[in-house]
Amino acid sequence: MSSRSMNQPKFTNRLIGETSPYLLQHAHNPVSWYPWGLEAIAKAKQDDKPILLSIGYSACHWCHVMEHESFADEDVAAYMNDKFVCVKVDREERPDLDKIYQTAYQLLTQRPGGWPLNVVISPDGHVPFFAGTYFPKQPRQGLPGFVDVLGRISEYYQNHRDRLREHGNAVRNAFAQIEAGARGQGQTDVGILERAFEELCQQYDPVYGGFGAAPKFPHPGNMEVCLRHWARSRDSGQTNHRGLDMVRHTLEAMAAGGIYDQLGGGFARYSVDDQWAIPHFEKMLYDNAQLLPLYTDAWRACGEPWFRAVALETGEWVMREMQSTDGGYFSSFDADSEGEEGKFYVWEVDELQQVLTTDEWAVAEVYFGLRGQPNFEGRWHLTVAAPPATVAERTGLEADRVQGLLSSARHKLLEVRGRRVWPGRDEKILTAWNGLMIKGMVHAGRFLDRDDFIQSAQAALDYVRSRLWHKGRLLATGKDNKTHLNAYLDDYVFLIDALLELLQARWRDDDLKFAISLAEVVLQHFQDTEYGGYFFTSDDHESLLHRHKPTTDDATPSGNGIAAQVLLRLGHLLGENRYLQAAEGTLSALSAGLRQHPAAHAALLLAVEDFHHSTETVVLRGDDTEIREAQRICQQVYTPRRTVLAIPGDAGPLPGVLAERTAASPLNAYVCKGHQCLPPVTSLEALRAHVAPADAGL
């Protein structure tokens, strides 16, 4: 028997020193993986080999499949090592590389991208000349085998260098044309908001809710656009309920579906069907960070108790399963456990019956629709088939008794599920995603009266401030006391957005100073001084094939859209014209792409609304009791363009025009809409008259 421990890995490659759980999953592959960096590039140049760049993330099901089939196979790995310099990238840590090579994939294949993404690039210039996603080890279901594909790529690289140079020039030109096509001159007119809404109405699924067909993603930005459309119509005194109806229908369908974890709270990435029933089981921080405040606002808009319950359960899931002891929020849960997608979440009928009492089973069977053919590979993934009122009618039980039995059944099932083998959790802490979740938790905490949500968010912010803010710049990621990677535009602007939300929940002088510091870095290091808008990477970032400028939303909002939003709000709050001009310039610079595809630019659309319809800033000073009641009045109704800051009397010196917002009487409310400010309001009655929407009934 070898002296090697039976549990000791046979191979170890250069990924062993990385922080990314995804890269560490590949650290014992026989593939001689490199992380992205100078060492790999120098090796490729020295050996005259193309770079096989493989991009994925830890919660990606097909990434795991390809690893097990190909990257863990010694024969496949030997071929890869012989013909290529192999580089593995976590798309969550290096979204700059992912954005470039996803775009390249779309250019080369004329198809939407995905993961795993496998791109072959030249050692000089890093230009891609092949791009694909998942390949099986052997040919299957119309897909060629991975080694066969690699063989053809290697042969092409060796024998067609002249074509590769021509191809490289064509790819660079295509990137330049994409960037130029999004540029605009002149401000986008306010009519773009109606055009975008009508576009969303056309994309809307009137049967099952949501936008588009399966695979069906939540698209929280689209729903916020619709919710705001309703709020604008309400404020004008001519309420149009269509936007609110679309949001309500979609959120109800999602809350009843399997995309929502009916036991533990929180949402999966997307549904594989139109009905929201069967998800791709990975749970991402960024999806939940956007859906949490959306459900909160939908409850505020229409009063549906179900939405409040979903928001509460999601926030509780975040604190229970997604927050580190140091405060930061983890990134994701895997779709797989024990090598099977969804195994952690699904149930056999006899298992359910063993766990539950007779009465609990009678209620659960109707509520979850546990009759007939199971809905996921011979087992049940829980969805809501009948509302509690219908359950009461069918079982003959009182409504309160039904609710009690459902609650106890869910509690028991969650406890039993917790003893299963859990899916892997990616415990790296990403600055941008933490910014999104800090905002989401604070927003829910403010309006659902959950101070523990706000405390959770503040702990996450303090983690980012203490661990990921270094010498006046942000770092993008941290794990196990190691932080690294130059931060991106999203890191800065998502965090400013979070700080502006947290300042509305509880004032801390340093949080405003931090927001201003972040904004100054954005202006200094990310701004496109020639054409306007903001690049995804800073001016001192490493040189890559292309310097991307994000305009459309993807799984997270566009960095330029959030930049315009926060600069408008911060500019009006402080009276800082540089921020206001920068926001206006961003909307002008990106107006061409916005006009071409309005509904694809939800974050920019919200900034356009803020610009044309004006943000409202309410600064409250005075006695604590008075200003807290004033804050409640200002926040009682869904008013998305309103920022309300209750600044205590012991606050330090205030910057900008805030220095003029003094506490000369028990209540001093400074109400400004855009550049127009009212005289200070000194009574709660007068404030109520100024801040209530036309038909709010306050």
Ranges 118-132, 157-171, 403-417, 682-696: which has the least confidence: 682-696
Whether residue 367 lies inside any domain: the answer is yes
Same domain, 574 and 593: yes
Q: Using CA atoms, how far apart are residues 610 and 608, in angstroms rounded to an integer?
A: 5
Looking at the fold, whether 441 and 541 belong to one and the same domain comes out as yes
CA distance 420 to 432: 31
Residue 499 is assigned to a structural domain of this protein: yes
How far is it, in rounded angstroms, from Cα 403 to Cα 135?
48
Predicted confidence at residue 5, as pLDDT, reads 43
Helix (H, G, I), strand (E, B) or coil at 392: helix
The radius of gyration computed from the CA coordinates of the chain, to the nearest angstrom, equals: 26
Identify the CATH number of the domain in which residue 377 sits. Answer: 1.10.10
- What is the residue range of 39's domain? 14-181
- Residue 676 phi, psi (nearest 5): -100, 125
The answer to whether residue 7 is domain-embedded is no
Residue 5 lies inside a defined structural domain of this protein: no
Task: Give the containing element (helix H, strand E) for 619.
Answer: strand 616-622
Residues 481 and 602 in one domain: yes
Same domain? For 539 and 457 the reply is: yes
Position with higher pLDDT, 189 vs 345: 345
Residue partners of 219: CB distance under 8 A and separation at least 6: 210, 211, 602
Domain boundary among 139, 162, 181: 181
Per-position b or e across 125-134, b if 16+ CB within 10 A of its CB: ebbbbbbbbb
Closest to 416 (Cα-Cα) out of 326, 331, 353: 353
Share of the chain above pLDDT 90, in %: 90
Do residues 271 and 307 both lie within one domain? Answer: yes
pLDDT at 2 over 50: no
Pairing of strands 616-622, 642-646: parallel
In the prediction, which pLDDT does 664 show? 84
Does residue 158 lie in a domain region? yes
- 49 and 89 housed in the same domain: yes
**What pLDDT sits at residue 180?**
76
The pLDDT assigned to 4 comes to 37
Is 156 in the same domain as 257?
A: no
Residue 6 has pLDDT above 60, yes or no: no
Residue 8 in any domain: the answer is no
Strand partners, 484: 477
Considering the domain architecture, whether residues 659 and 601 belong to the same structural domain is answered as no
pLDDT-derived band of residue 426, with 50, 70 and 90 as boundaries? very high
Predicted confidence at residue 186, as pLDDT, reads 75
- Residues 170 and 56 placed together within one structural domain of the fold: yes
What pLDDT is attached to residue 7?
58
Report how far residue 234's alpha carbon sits from residue 242's, in angstroms, rounded to the nearest whole number: 12
The three-state secondary structure class of 42 is helix
Instruction: Kindly report, residue by residue over 44-58, the tens digit of the pLDDT.
Output: 999 999 999 999 999
Which of 491, 470, 451 has its CA nearest to residue 92?
491
At 162 the pLDDT is: 84
Residue 539 has which token pair? 């001016």
What share of the chain in percent tops pLDDT 70?
98
CA distances from 69 to 19, 64, 89, 134, 594 (A): 24, 9, 19, 11, 42
The DSSP element (H or E) to which 671 belongs, if any, is strand 667-673
Residue 9 lies in a domain: no
Reply yes or no on whether the pLDDT at 178 is more than 90: no
Instruction: Tell me the whole-structure pTM to 2 decimals.
Output: 0.96
| Residue range 646-663: mean pLDDT, rounded | 94
Compute the mean pLDDT over every residue in the chain, rounded to the nearest whole number. 94
Looking at the structure, do residues 331 and 352 belong to the same domain, yes or no?
Answer: no
Q: Tell me if 483 sits within 8 A of 326, measured CB to CB.
A: no
Last residue of a domain, one of 585, 613, 641: 613
DSSP letter string over 464-498? HHHHSEETTEEEEEEETTEEEEE--HHHHHHHHHH
**Can you tell me the mean pLDDT for 422-433?**
97
Same domain, 401 and 493: no
pLDDT score at 697 = 45
Which pLDDT belongs to residue 475?
98
How many distinct structural domains can be found in the chain? 4
pLDDT band at residue 3 under the 50/70/90 scheme: very low
CATH number of the domain that residue 155 is part of: 3.40.30.10
pLDDT digits over 357-388, tens only? 999 999 999 999 999 999 999 999 999 999 99
Q: Check pLDDT > 60 for residue 695.
A: no
557 neighbors 488 (Cβ within 8 angstroms)? no
Shared-domain flag, residues 622 and 593 = no
Q: Is the pLDDT of residue 564 over 60?
A: yes
Other beta carbons less than 10 A from residue 639's beta carbon: 20
Q: In the β-sheet with 117-121, what is the strand arrangement from edge to edge?
A: 34-35, 85-90, 51-56, 117-121, 128-132
Query: Is the residue at 6 inside a domain?
Result: no
Of 148, 181, 214, which residue constitutes the final position of a domain?
Answer: 181
Strand locations in 281-351 (E): 283-284, 332-333, 336-337, 340-341
Residue 284 burial class via C-beta count within 10 angstroms: exposed 0-12, middle 13-18, buried 19 and up: buried
**pLDDT at residue 94 is higher than 60:** yes
